Structure 1
Amino acid sequence: MLSPLAPSAGKLLISEPFLMDPNFKRSVVLVTEHQEEGTVGFILNHKSTLLLSDLVPDFTGGNFPVYIGGPVAVDTIHFIHRCSDLLTDAEEVAKGVYWGGNFEALKILVNNQHIKPEDIKFFIGYSGWSGEQLQDEMKENTWIVSDQYDADVVFSHNEEELWKEVIINLGPKYAHVSNFPQNPNLN
């Protein structure tokens, strides 16, 4: 199931249906940085049981869910958003999708309820691959790369269906994969 696209910032990495690694099982990863030295991204559909206010008590402006961005540096908080008009120092990684920005300005905006949960996602940790690691995993058909999505997909809070949705968006060649059982041994 080789993907015709190469990974790059703004693309999605979609795990193959039978990947059993609990960190990446049925995951959709937004790539935010891809260079020769490595790749960084965030898993969009692995929601934790935590809220932002559980991690940073200074955030009092709402109940923002926190996602598990990946298994690397799980003691760090990251965010992607579509609020470039409010957080002007963010980096655009895809059309209408921004990574980072001034954390103190973010705190004020959240506490004053100028940012809504559907416009931002918070993550603990990130997904990271060194050097050729991601290319090796691509050769093993672990990932499908996609640019067939819009910002609404990235900020979806329907974690259970997100993996299926992005697979179906790839077109008829891949749509049947969305119905594969999670564990083929149980079929």
Structure 2
Amino acid sequence: MEIPSFSTSSAAPATGRLLVATPELIDPNFRDSVVLLLDHNAEGTLGVILNRPTPILVASVLSGWSAAAEPPEVLFEGGPVDKDSALALAEVRESGGALGPLDAAATDPIGFRRLFGDVGIIDLDTPSEVLGPALHRLRVFAGYAGWSPGQLENEIEQDSWYVVDGVPEDVFVAHPARLRADVLRRQPGELAWVATRPEDAALN
């Protein structure tokens, strides 16, 4: 039986969107990964892998931020670049009003840069006692993923990635091992089929 193939999503890469590894992507750095795009512009692309927890507790390396860490309270492997550095994504607490994007950004706490919805990057050099009370939840990543100008677009054309919209729960998922399948399953049309595709298509 011939196994059907699927082209990538028609969505273009943009800040806040997800890259979901296709079955054709066998690079061990990104196999079965889900990547949140943090920046995408003419100078290149930055992102973090959302579904690779490590055994290292946040409390053991960044004790001041551990109280806000969402379970599992461990560092996540954000990507193959600069693994000795850490960056954190956080969701700020609700403002209590129906603010538009510009109004919400104007009220953001110091040390927080909004990406999409109430999710953004925090400056870990900001004292946790200053920024911490404004945070609903947080996740810390060691390293990141990076692409030079045009590199990601080429990989998408080669069917290495599906590009789909992200939601805050993707960033703070409690069961990272299920994230890729869950993201694909909620997509419309045939793309949802990939969530149940066996690793060896011949076994289907």
Same fold (TM over 0.5): yes
TM-score (norm 1): 0.85
Provide the identity percentage: 29
Aligned length, in residue pairs: 182
Q: Distance in 2 between matches of 1:95 and 1:174?
A: 25
Unaligned stretches of 5+ residues in structure 2? 1-6, 96-107
- Which of 132, 140, 143 does residue 122 from structure 1 map onto? 140
Deviations 1:95-120 (A, max 9, x none): 1211123533236666xx8856xx11
- SS, match of residue 146 in structure 2: strand
Which of 100, 108, 113 aligns to 2:122? It is 100
Q: Identify if the C-alpha distance between structure 1 residues 27 and 172 changes in structure 2 by more than 3 Å, giving closer, same or farther.
A: same
For structure 1, the 5+ residue unaligned runs are none
Aligned to 1:162: 179
> Is 1:79 the equivalent of 2:79?
no
**Conserved? CA contact 1:27–1:45, under 8 Å:** yes
- The answer to whether the 8 Å contact 2:91/2:119 transfers is yes
Amino acid at match of 1:152: E
Normalization by structure 2: what TM-score? 0.78
Q: What's 1:70 paired with?
A: 79
What secondary structure sits across from 1:99 in the alignment? Answer: strand
Structure 1 stretch displaced more, 172-181 or 121-130: 172-181
One-letter amino acid of the counterpart of residue 89, structure 2: I
| Residues 1:146 and 1:59: Cα distance change in structure 2 (over 3 Å) | closer
Q: Distance in 1 between matches of 2:34 and 2:80?
A: 14
Q: Indicate the SS of the match to 1:131.
A: coil
1:186 deviates by 6.3
Compute the RMSD of aligned alpha carbons. Answer: 2.4
User: Residue 52 of structure 2 aligns with which residue?
Assistant: 46
Q: Which has the larger radius of gyration?
A: 2
